[in-house]
Amino acid sequence: MIRGFRDGLARINGGMIAYSVGGTGPPVLLLHGFPQTRALWARVAPRLAKTRTVVCADLRGYGDSFKPEAVREYSFRAMGEDMLALMADFGHQNFDLVGHDRGARTAHRMALDAPEHIRSLALMDIIPTHLLLDSLTWPVAKGYYHWFFLSQPAPLPETLITANPDYYFESCLLGWGASQLADFDPTQLSAYRKAWRDPDTIRGMCNDYRAALELDFAMDAADLGKKVSCPTQIIWGATGAMGRAYDVPATWADRCTDLHCTAIEGGHFFVDTAPEQTTAALCAFLAS
């Protein structure tokens, strides 16, 4: 899936987590977001692997990883526990952590729940989950309507999406900052399509969003007093929905003790559309 990397499956927390691993050196874990898979990192991971042991994993419910039935099994805490167990399985008790979109929300939760394992944290194109939901405005709700569509009771969103998954998920890719499908690498786009055409993956992604409203909001409310204690890089798409609606660094200022901020040209999917700039920002942060 990623050139020069080894693909595998690890039995974690009662299910199988799919991963790709390559390189040597200090470990770093890369987590993708919606509606993608670990293929997101295909043009980023090989460069990092020149000096790092790089692990790219599919979140539960996504890609080739297992897809539990119950909504309660899709909290960011549960996803994060998978990833902590995966890295421990590789022998990595401490590691750098990078996440985009849902992977970033999972990474944020990991940094709050298990700070002793996270050396540094890079969060891509999110604002804090609790802040987004607690102070929701209509422009943000319009742009991020999918949070509320996907979280509707089953099988409503699953039924509608299954009728034409490429149409629906490609509308997400194009609606949050890419002007055309040509902005995406064909091989990566093929991997995304293969995953999102699977009805179990559609269900898993819907359950991810259901859990955000039903579980994660309350977990985050309980932890509003906690701060991320490790060095943290906030990266966002300069013309994306979050960049237009918020002062992104300001949303994290009181939640992190050591904050570094970088805007990347493009919208939400800048990892796909600007991989070289994304990689350069990550390399500079990790080297520091």
Residues taking part in catalysis: 101, 268
d(CA 195, CA 166): 10
d(CA 201, CA 29): 22
* Measured distance CA(114)–CA(107) in Å, rounded: 10
Total residue count of the chain as it appears in this document = 288
